[in-house]
Structure 1
Amino acid sequence: MNREVRNLVVAAAVAAVTVTGAVVTVVQAGGDGTRKITGTVDAAPGLGWSLDAAAMYGQSFAEFRDPVTGSEYDWGNPGFVDAGDTLLSIVGVSNGGMSLQDPVMVGVDAASGDVRWRSPAEELGGCASAVLDGDLVCFTAPLADEPALVGFDVDTGEVTRTPTDWMVFAVATVDDRLYVAEGNIEDADVRLHAGSLAEPDAQWSRPFDVQGWWEDDLTHALDVTHGQGVVALGADLAGFDLDTGEPTWTSSLDGCSRAESTAGALVVTIHTECDGYRRVGTEVVDRAGRALVAVDGEVAQSPSFDDPVDATIPVLVGDGGRDRVTGELLWTSTDLVSTPREADEYNANTTFGTATAVVGDVAILQDGDTTTALDLRTGNRLWQREESDFGTVQGHDDRVLVTADHKAIRAFDLRTGEPVWETPFLAIDDDRDALGSNSMLATGGDGRYSYVSDRTMIGLRPLPR
């Protein structure tokens, strides 16, 4: 595929967001520089710092973008890679809804909000979601003039380039190893490699008979974080051993089905018909390609936040919890099935799975304005709340569950559902668009949180006692 054709195809899939700059308002000050946010309870964290993209970049309409989705195209996703003491994000100006103008990678001090460094980040196809040996590893766009793997030093921003003639479409890291997927995906000419930034094929290289399309979202084409490797392109799936690269199983998706990796080296496939996007069943496959569970029905569970404490926690399938090793049905719950509703022209399903998050050993379920928590070990209901402003689960810190929506960041007790604190965005900035757009939140432990929207990044931390 030539560059012009690919640009036209991908541009059709990109949705860009353009908003104006924001000015952070002054709030009450605490002794160490952390400022109490007016109107919040004592348990709420204070505002440690705030960083405005436009002011930092020096141009109106500058926005933060998630490095994982790269800079070649503007997918409109704010975000950062959390490297502990440093948050790495791309900043640029949306250029006609297709690309970012003069994008830079920035390293933001997670404690102070200071910009420690900035480095050019042009023509990046994407980056890993975690750092490796002190570097954030990225790759140039597949049709770049000078293709390379690109490393950004977390502490200094120094750039290391490893030239390659590969057409890379995904990278991933786990422990001390880099995984690279490359090739012409539309010709099923795909290879995977394992190694380091300096020697990306030092450990092994393997061909894989999988095929996809360049216009697909390739952000999730390679997963290595759940105990096995999984490459997913188009309708093709393949599992592989992380240490040797040996292919372990292959599978194909039918219709509009999709697959998601989860803990215990499992892959959950939600079988979906394209007509009305009707869900018709769920299948769970283990690391050997064996189907642990296969159930029919329109109720499918697809939590957007999936962080079980370990592989002893059941996997949610249909209306119950299944053992991750044997597939045995351990319990069922009617709370996992939504209240029946009428089908419409866009969706043929009248009921659906309610699970939106798996947090440790608790499942968070949402059905309309009703939020329910289940003990995943027993299936018993822990609590239920009737409110429209619960938000989307974005993290947790010990027993505190943290959610966000376009109005606020909120915290609830994970075991009881009782509110712990709420931080309204308008109490931080009186511009409604400054913090309430698409967002990403990370928990730093000990009551510290980092949050980014399109235009603003903030750090929350406990107030001095």
Structure 2
Amino acid sequence: MRTVPGLRNLVLAAAAAVVATAGALVVHLQPEDTTRKITGTTDSAPGLAWSTSAAGFGRAGAEFRDPRTGTEFDTGGPGFVDGGDTLVTVLGVPDDMYLRDPVLVGIDAGTGAKRWQAPAADLTGCGSTPVDGQVVCFSSDRALVGYDLTTGAVTRTPTKWFPFAIATLDDRVYVAEGDVESDDVRVHAGTLADPEAYWSQAFDMGTLWEDLPFDALDVSHGQGVFTLGVDIAGFDLGSGKPTWTTTQDGCSDAGATSGAVLVRVRSECRGHEITGSDLLDRTGRTIATSNSKVAQFLSIDLPTDDTVPVLLGDSGYDRRTGSLLWTSPDLISTPQETGTATAIFGDVALLRDTNAHTTTGLDLRTGHRLWRTDATRSGTILGWDGHTVVLSDYTGLWAIDPRTGATSWDIPFLAVNTDPESLTGPSQLAAHGKGHYTYASAQTIIGLRPLKH
């Protein structure tokens, strides 16, 4: 066959163009979006991007656990540390009070695929956020242990301390160590490689080992708060300098909240009767006091900023000055007189009145009721993506608009997985943006993403 002059060159040029184009596509092509619509849900509901099961890791009876509670004992529920592109969870087999052969597993947050697996025996606890690309934990042999988010590579830093609490924030690791029963304790701020690189500070406080709280160290609200037994101390995150001390009388309780303030609920041990609440500023000064016998206990506390009032008793107080701003009867359930506030999202509080069987949205800036509905369905509040609040019960997930109370979407668990046990029970949810979620139960972790229309 006679070749037409120039044809070969044209064919080669075309082939080269195809190869070059294909190469360019390989460089710029994004992974295919495999998110599928969940049967029976509305178009506003997120779709299922991926699902991974504990059974899929090849260990009979294995379940997912939250790394933050450690692996020494099986005391925590399912969960994970959110490392952005990687989710880090514990995988182990429950055995009475223990987890057999626990490992830390890195899961690709975009696909659900396993990235790595590393031994994780005898971890006492882990920080809630990664530091310098690593999940940082401490172990019963007095070492700090880091797990690289990308590879799972393990870094160990032996110490002479006896650590009992860990917290992480930005580029710092905070460790509390010592003998709590001798009031001989210290807090250090540093890195995984040098855990006292920034500062070390001794505190004259303690408690019984059996009364040691899981959240003894809090660094997430603008100041450090260190709690042991009835003693509470505030400290500067940058320098470690103690800023104030206070006590919890009787059977009182206290917790840090946004704006570097502390809410202390006063309670008598006999009958556990609440006698009032106090608001302490970052210097330890009491700036507001309520003598109401009602206290508000929040499962999630996410105010927009420190201009959003804080709740004490049946009222809203300025969290900067302590000024009383408004009072609302919706904050008290009668006749038992209990607090109704369950969560704060932005500048809205969600209230649940178990006596009246209602759910209410309360404008925190004014104290005015935004909406009220009959509580025909009651679930656990899991999280907020800045737009909708996600809840769960044994049947599935659903979301509501906190400003209107309207249901935004509803996802039955059986539409995701036909095994009725795979997604129920205790759980954790992380919101990564509007309509982007990761949901973890003991048996299954799923990724939810908005559907492209």
- 3-state SS of 2:187 partner: strand
Query: Which residue among 304, 321, 329 is the counterpart of 2:299?
Result: 304
**Number of the residue aligned with 1:456:** 444
The TM-score, its normalising length taken from structure 1, stands at 0.88
Query: Which residue among 371, 393, 399 is the counterpart of 1:405?
Result: 393
Q: Does 1:424 align with 2:423?
A: no
**Number of the residue aligned with 1:124:** 123
Kindly indicate whether the alpha-carbon contact (under 8 Å) linking 2:212 and 2:228 is maintained by their aligned counterparts in 1: no
Kindly indicate whether the alpha-carbon contact (under 8 Å) linking 1:169 and 1:218 is maintained by their aligned counterparts in 2: no
Higher relative contact order (CA 8 A, sep 6+): 1
Kindly indicate whether the alpha-carbon contact (under 8 Å) linking 1:371 and 1:390 is maintained by their aligned counterparts in 2: no
Q: Does 1:359 align with 2:358?
A: no
- Unmatched tracts of structure 1, length 5 or more: 1-30, 341-349
Percent identity, aligned pairs only, is 55
**Number of the residue aligned with 1:60:** 60
Distance 1:217 1:63 in 2: 26
Distance 1:392 1:385 in 2: 17
Q: Please give the residue correspondences for 1:45-444 in structure 2 after superposition, counting only pairs within 5 Å.
A: 45-56=46-57, 58-95=58-95, 97-141=96-140, 144=141, 147-216=142-211, 218-340=213-335, 350-368=336-354, 369-444=357-432
Instruction: Tell me the alpha carbon deviations over residues 48-88 of structure 1, each in whole angstroms, 9 at most, x when there is no partner.
Output: 111111221x2222111111100011114111111111111
- 3-state SS of 1:54 partner: helix
Distance 1:188 1:197 in 2: 26
After superposing on structure 2, the runs of 4+ consecutive aligned residues of structure 1 that deviate more than 6 Å are none
Shift of the alpha carbon at 1:352? Answer: 1.2
- 3-state SS of 1:335 partner: helix
Kindly indicate whether the alpha-carbon contact (under 8 Å) linking 1:426 and 1:432 is maintained by their aligned counterparts in 2: yes
The RMSD of aligned alpha carbons is 1.3
Distance 2:424 2:71 in 1: 23
Distance 1:133 1:436 in 2: 34
Kindly indicate whether the alpha-carbon contact (under 8 Å) linking 1:270 and 1:300 is maintained by their aligned counterparts in 2: yes
Distance 2:422 2:184 in 1: 44
Kindly indicate whether the alpha-carbon contact (under 8 Å) linking 1:192 and 1:206 is maintained by their aligned counterparts in 2: yes
Distance 1:204 1:76 in 2: 31
Shift of the alpha carbon at 1:393? Answer: 2.1
Distance 2:212 2:56 in 1: 31
**Number of the residue aligned with 1:3:** none
Structure with the greater alpha carbon radius of gyration: 2
Distance 1:64 1:269 in 2: 34
Matched AA of 2:63: E
Instruction: Tell me the alpha carbon deviations over residues 223-250 of structure 1, each in whole angstroms, 9 at most, x when there is no partner.
Output: 0111110111111111111111111111
- 3-state SS of 1:215 partner: helix
Farther off after superposition, 167-176 or 355-364: 167-176
- 3-state SS of 2:145 partner: strand
Matched AA of 1:380: H
**Number of the residue aligned with 1:446:** 434
The TM-score, its normalising length taken from structure 2, stands at 0.90
Kindly indicate whether the alpha-carbon contact (under 8 Å) linking 2:189 and 2:195 is maintained by their aligned counterparts in 1: yes
Q: Does 1:43 align with 2:38?
A: no
Farther off after superposition, 271-280 or 245-254: 271-280
Kindly indicate whether the alpha-carbon contact (under 8 Å) linking 1:32 and 1:464 is maintained by their aligned counterparts in 2: no
Distance 1:298 1:229 in 2: 28
Kindly indicate whether the alpha-carbon contact (under 8 Å) linking 1:48 and 1:460 is maintained by their aligned counterparts in 2: yes
Shift of the alpha carbon at 1:279? Answer: 1.6
Instruction: Tell me the alpha carbon deviations over residues 409-438 of structure 1, each in whole angstroms, 9 at most, x when there is no partner.
Output: 111112211111011112222332211100
Distance 2:220 2:325 in 1: 26
- 3-state SS of 1:32 partner: coil
Shift of the alpha carbon at 1:217? Answer: 5.3
Kindly indicate whether the alpha-carbon contact (under 8 Å) linking 1:399 and 1:415 is maintained by their aligned counterparts in 2: no
- 3-state SS of 1:116 partner: strand
Distance 1:77 1:114 in 2: 22
Matched AA of 1:364: L
- 3-state SS of 1:220 partner: coil
- 3-state SS of 1:37 partner: coil
- 3-state SS of 1:276 partner: coil
**Cα pair distance change 1:32/1:405, threshold 3 Å:** same
Distance 1:62 1:162 in 2: 29
- 3-state SS of 2:338 partner: coil
Kindly indicate whether the alpha-carbon contact (under 8 Å) linking 1:152 and 1:158 is maintained by their aligned counterparts in 2: yes
Kindly indicate whether the alpha-carbon contact (under 8 Å) linking 2:383 and 2:389 is maintained by their aligned counterparts in 1: yes
Distance 1:275 1:424 in 2: 44
Distance 2:326 2:77 in 1: 38
Count of paired positions: 420
Matched AA of 1:298: K
**Number of the residue aligned with 1:18:** none
Shift of the alpha carbon at 1:267? Answer: 1.0
Farther off after superposition, 222-231 or 362-371: 362-371
Distance 1:237 1:254 in 2: 11
- Unmatched tracts of structure 2, length 5 or more: 1-31
Distance 1:371 1:202 in 2: 49
Shift of the alpha carbon at 1:314? Answer: 0.4
